[in-house]
Amino acid sequence: MLRTSSLCKTLALCLLAHANLAGAQQSKPSDAPPKLERIDDGNLAPVTPATPAPRANEPKITEKREGGRTTEVKVKTGKSSYTMKGTNPAGGSSTGDAAGSTLRPPQWTVGEFDLNKKKKAASEAAADTEAAPVPPPPAPAK
């Protein structure tokens, strides 16, 4: 047991000495500043600030107001959209009361159905046939 602990101590001492020698061999950085290159300003194009491009996922927010109060807010971001609706507070309650809260959870638009799709297609087809020019009648045979 005594031999193993002295072997560990000797090994640790050798590793510390090696690390110290490796640290001493590193050269110190120079106190002189690095050399800089001069760039001609005449060759460079003038810098103009770029206007930010419109983002594709930027939310579109539509607010409905009634009497100075926001009653409904519709938010559409990409394919996702939701609606926030407010409620009219009770007459005797104020904002912050349990009865006076005007917050309602958002209503997510999951899917929209077009129930009049067949009627619209039929009316468009009828409008196309009515808008087509009428061919002239055939010339009488002689």
Determine the Cα–Cα distance for residues 14 and 6; give it in Å rounded to an integer. Answer: 12
Determine the Cα–Cα distance for residues 11 and 83; give it in Å rounded to an integer. Answer: 71
38-71 pLDDT, tens digit per residue, is: 877 777 777 787 777 766 678 889 999 888 888 8
pTM: 0.37
* Cβ–Cβ under 8 Å, residues 63 and 83: no
Considering only CA atoms, which of 102, 104, 97, 98 is closest in space to residue 69? 102
Give alpha helix (H) positions in 26-142. Answer: 117-131
CA torsion angle 88 69 105 102 (round to 10):
-40
